Structure 1
Amino acid sequence: MTVVTLMWEARAASGRGGELLEWARAQTLGAAPLRRETFRAPGERVLVLTWWETDGPDDRLPELPDPDAALIGRPVHRWRFQSLDFSAADFTGG
């Protein structure tokens, strides 16, 4: 098996960062990933990472759609990464 991480990143239209974050959190994928994390960053950017166990790095996987064009300040960026190794750290996320 292969673990693939999908990265989805968007910058909100001016003043709409909170709306974009709420929109991203509300999106369902039709299947449950191994893990899903949502981040925010300066510049009203929202990032969603999902991890999937697949048969190969090019398998078709559920992805977040594009939000309404009025909600974003530029096109959504998407990248796909294949996990090569993993180190469990003492991370509390606090």
Structure 2
Amino acid sequence: MTLALMWEARATEGRGDALLAWAKSKTLDPAPARRETFRAPGDRVLVITWWDAEDFDAKVPELPEPDETLTSRPVHRWRFEAV
């Protein structure tokens, strides 16, 4: 199955570029089958990774929490199964 992980964070005011750079610099081991990074108004950063997994609860690497100085709230995380 294909498992997609979504990681979304909102930067503290004026730190959107720093949060984006931080997210882009983080590597995952092993690497996902696919990875895309997005930005949105309000200094939000979204990273989606795609994994070949055996089930929905498969253990795969996830991006960590950024330093508290970069984010204005806890990171939001979601899992999706391709259908």
TM-score of the aligned structures, taking structure 1 as reference length = 0.87
Give the gaps of 5 or more residues in structure 2. Answer: none
Percent identity of paired positions between Structure 1 and Structure 2: 60
TM-score of the aligned structures, taking structure 2 as reference length = 0.98
3-state SS of paired residue (2:46): strand
| Offset from partner CA, 1:22-80 (integer Å, 9 cap, x none) | 00000011111110000000000000000000111111110000000111011000000
Q: Which runs of 4+ in 1 moved over 6 A?
A: none
3-state SS of paired residue (2:20): helix
Q: What is the count of residue pairs matched by the alignment?
A: 83
Which of the pair has more CA radius of gyration? 1
Give the gaps of 5 or more residues in structure 1. Answer: 85-94
CA RMSD of aligned residues (A): 0.5
